[in-house]
Amino acid sequence: MSSGLAISLFQDAAELVLWTVASSIEVNIGEKDGFTKMWEKVNNNNKPELFLPLKEKMLELNKARVGFKHYGILPDSSHSFRYYGYVTEFINNTVRNFFNLEFDAISLVDTVRNEEIRKYLKEAEELLGEKDLKKSLVSCEIAYQKIFKYVERIIPEISSKIEGFGERLHPVYERDDLRTEWHGLIEFLNNIRINILINLLGIKSSDFLRYKKLAPGVFIAMSGKVSSTFSGMEASENDVRFCIDFIINTAIEAQNRL
């Protein structure tokens, strides 16, 4: 079953690229046009230099998907790897041919409007590509701080105001036990504040907590110098990829919602 689902997803990815190409060259695709019909319309675009590659391989993939989806024919699991190669090659070549881009270089980072945040996210992706995981996480955290610098204006940090009120309770405030409880109240209110903010952005609490667990402590001095500290947890490449994706999605949600 899993191999059939994988093949269906490969086909969906190929069709999404096909729709994107058709839209870019203004080819009219009907709602009921199948994969083969879409292919023919795109290739008959009167621009011989723009053509879809790997027709035989992609038709083989389409046939396997039809067999699974409509007739319940389960493909051999080993075929999944072959079809993965087909669709990867198809997407890379098609994007290069029609858009003059390398598919691996396309990123949602480009949809982040804030230039400074976008710069740090691109830097994080480049560092991940170079396997410099710690520096990549530092760039992620700087981007995170830049995002929340704007987001936190909705509910300004209240610790300094409450702290000042607590000091006016002197001499009661001088008691260590009351001071500890007062600081605990400040921390509690700040946690509520952060939860309100992440909910405003539509961020899953589980994703936020995972990010905070992986993110380093980063301090940016007035001079611009950056210092960072890491916990004992060693982040993997998948962890860093998660962090980058999390910050990209957070940036996009912030600009769309606020």
Domain ranges of the chain: 2-105, 109-257
> CA torsion angle for 119, 120, 121, 122 (degrees, to 10)?
50
Residue 158 confidence (pLDDT) above 70: no
Confidence label for 70 from pLDDT (cuts 50, 70 and 90): confident
Helices (H), the chain: 2-24, 35-43, 55-71, 77-99, 115-129, 133-151, 159-167, 176-200, 205-214, 237-257
What pLDDT, on the 0 to 100 scale, is given for residue 245? 94
In the chain, the percentage of residues whose pLDDT exceeds 90 is: 35
- What is the pTM assigned to this prediction? 0.67
Question: Is the Cβ–Cβ distance between 39 and 18 less than 8 Å?
Answer: yes
Question: Is the Cβ–Cβ distance between 11 and 65 less than 8 Å?
Answer: yes
Question: Is the Cβ–Cβ distance between 242 and 214 less than 8 Å?
Answer: yes
Could you tell me how many residues make up the chain?
Answer: 258
6 Cβ contact list (under 8 Å, min separation 6) = 80, 83, 84
205-216 pLDDT tens trace:
899 999 999 999
What pLDDT, on the 0 to 100 scale, is given for residue 136? 96
- Please provide the distance, in angstroms rounded to a whole number, between the alpha carbons at the two ends of the chain: 43
79-131 pLDDT tens trace:
888 999 999 999 999 999 999 988 887 888 989 999 999 999 999 999 999 99
Question: Per the structure block, which two tokens stand in for 95?
Answer: 């994007």
Question: Per the structure block, which two tokens stand in for 216?
Answer: 């380093």
Confidence label for 174 from pLDDT (cuts 50, 70 and 90): low
CA distance 127 to 135: 7
What pLDDT, on the 0 to 100 scale, is given for residue 178? 61
Radius of gyration of the chain, Cα coordinates, nearest whole angstrom: 26
What pLDDT, on the 0 to 100 scale, is given for residue 91? 94
